[in-house]
């Protein structure tokens, strides 16, 4: 029984890793609200909106939701293209439904 539970937990972990993927920002088009990212060797374009859920970790390591306007500042930054990394947690029909952004360094 214990082996069966352990196998199920491992399967759930592997499936969860397949959904979330770290990407690097290539470019962001503010007018079209399109974000182009590099995922491994592939380049993909996704739509984002005010409905997209963005989270980050606070100082204690706990997840907290951040506003679209705050994320917009980071995506439109001159230094972000090619350097900013974030995690896409969920997508649907070519749009990002949830993303985990990096924490702000102090």
Give the pLDDT of residue 20: 55
Residue pLDDT, tens place only, 64-97: 999 988 888 888 988 888 899 999 999 898 999 9
The pLDDT tens digits of the residues spanning 28-40 come to 998 999 999 998 8
4-25 pLDDT, tens digit per residue, is 656 666 655 454 444 458 899 9
**C-alpha distance from residue 91 to each of 11, 38, 85 (Å):** 21, 15, 17
pLDDT of residue 17: 40
Which of 19, 38, 50 shows the shortest CA–CA distance to 80?
38
Which uninterrupted H or E stretch holds 73? helix 68-75
**What letter would DSSP give residue 52?**
S
Tokens of 64: 């907290």
């Amino acid at each position: 029984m214990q082996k069966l539970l352990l196998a199920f937990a491992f399967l759930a972990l592997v499936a969860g890793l397949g959904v979330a993927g770290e990407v690097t920002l290539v470019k962001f088009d503010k007018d079209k609200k399109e974000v182009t990212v590099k995922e491994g060797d592939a380049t993909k374009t996704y739509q984002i909106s005010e409905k997209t859920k963005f989270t980050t970790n606070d100082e204690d390591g706990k997840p907290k939701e951040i506003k679209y306007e705050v994320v917009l500042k980071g995506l439109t930054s001159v230094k972000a293209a090619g350097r900013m990394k974030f995690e896409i947690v969920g997508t649907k029909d070519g749009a990002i439904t949830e993303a985990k952004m990096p924490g702000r360094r102090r």
